[in-house]
Amino acid sequence: MIERAVIEEAVAGLGEPPFRARQVYEALTRGLATDFAGMTVLPMRLRQALAARLTPVTLAEVETRISRRGDARKTLFVTADGHPVEAVLMTVARRATVCVSSQVGCAVGCAFCASGRLGLRRDLTAEEMVDQVLAAQRALLSTGRRVTNVVVMGMGEPFHNYDATLRACRMLNDPAGFALAARGISVSTAGVVPGIERFAREGLQLNLAVSLHAATDALRDDLVPLNRSYPLKAVFGACERYVQRTRRKLFFEYVQLAGVNDTDEQVEALANRMRRPLYHLNLIAYNEAGGRFARPSPQAVQSMRARLEARGVRCTVRRSSGADIDAACGQLALRRAAADDPADWGSGHRPGRAGLTSGG
C-alpha cells in the first residue's frame, strides 16, 4: 500500500494532474491492484514512471492455511527485508474480520504467546499493516464479501508502535480509499498505560481492547511481564479515564489457561475489577502452542463464564477459529522460525516492483 499523500506527491512531481493521483489511489484501495502495469486507465508512460518510483505492495505471501471449517484463513507473509508477518481472516456469519500484526515478533513476552518467543525484530510500517487487510480483501473477492472488521491483535504490541498503528487505522478508514468504518477497527494493548491515555485523546471512533489474562498482580507479573512496568492499578486507572473521556465501551480480552487463570481466586478478583459501566469481557480458550499451558475444556470455559456472569460481569465467550491452523498470534511464524532461517523464506516471492505474489 502507498499512502495517498505519497501518491499525490509522486504524480504532481511527474507533472500530471491531481485526478491521476485519485485514479491510482482508487486502483490500489478499491481495485486492489498489486502493480501499476494493470492500471490501464493510466497512460503507459505514467504507469512506467510510477513503477520506477513506488512499490504498491509491501508484503509477499509465503504460505496460507485454511481451517477445516473454512472459517479461518491464516497467511504468512514476508517483508521486503525478509521478516515473517502473519494475519488471520475469520469469517463468521456476516462478519469478515482480519487480525493484523503490528510488529515482527513482540517485546512483551507473554508466557503463553508464540510471538513473545520470537522476541521483537522490528516495528511494521502502516503500509505493511494495511497490506495485510488488502490481501484479505483479495482473498474474499470471489465470495463477494467485504472486510467488515479489523483487529490489531496479531503479532506485536500496537502501542509500542503507536504512530504507525494509528496511521494504518486512518488509512483504512479513509472514505476516499478503503473506507472501513472506524467502529469496525479495534486496537488491542497488553496494558501500555501511556498508549491508553493517548488513544483516549485521539477523538476517533476506534475501539480499544485491553488484554488482561490475569486479575492479580502476582499472576499477571508472570503471564504478562509488562505488568511489572504497568501494574493492574495503573492499567485500570487509565481504563477509567478512557471510559470517562470517550464514553465508549471498553473490551477486555482474557485468554483462559486451564487451571492457571480460571481459579476461584482469579474469578473473584476479575469480577471485582470488571463490574464497571461500559466494561465488557471477552473470554477466549487458549490455543495450545507447545508451551507449559493447556487449553481448557468447553465445560471449563462455560463454568468460567457462568461464575463471572453470576457476579455481574458482562462476558462473551469468543468463538475460537482455526486451532487446526495455528491461528493464535505468532504460532505459524514461530513454527516457521524454528524450521528454517527467515532470511530464506519465500525465495522467489520477495516483494519487489513486479511479480509480487502477495494477496492470495
The piece of 12-20, 109-117, 289-297, 310-318 that touches ligand SF4 (CB under 6 A) is 109-117
**Min CB(305)–ligand SF4 separation in Å:** 21
**Min CB(155)–ligand SF4 separation in Å:** 5
Catalytic position from the list 16, 61, 86, 253: 86
86 is an active site residue: yes
Of 116 and 296, nearer to ligand SF4 (C-beta) is 116
**Min CB(79)–ligand SF4 separation in Å:** 17
329 is an active site residue: yes
Calpha distance 38→27 (Å, rounded) = 9
**Min CB(132)–ligand SF4 separation in Å:** 15
- Per CB under 6 A, 333 contacts ligand SF4: no
Total interface residues for ligand SF4 by CB under 6 A: 12
For ligand SF4, the binding residue among 113, 136, 180, 308 (CB under 6 A) is 113
**Min CB(56)–ligand SF4 separation in Å:** 28
Chain positions 160 to 219 lying near ligand SF4, rule: CB under 6 A, are 190
Q: State the binding string over 19-58 for ligand SF4 (x if CB under 6 A, else -).
A: ----------------------------------------
- Per CB under 6 A, 108 contacts ligand SF4: yes
Q: Annotated catalytic sites, by residue?
A: 86, 329
Q: Provide the binding-site residues for ligand SF4, judged by CB under 6 A.
A: 106, 108-110, 113, 115-116, 155-157, 190, 329
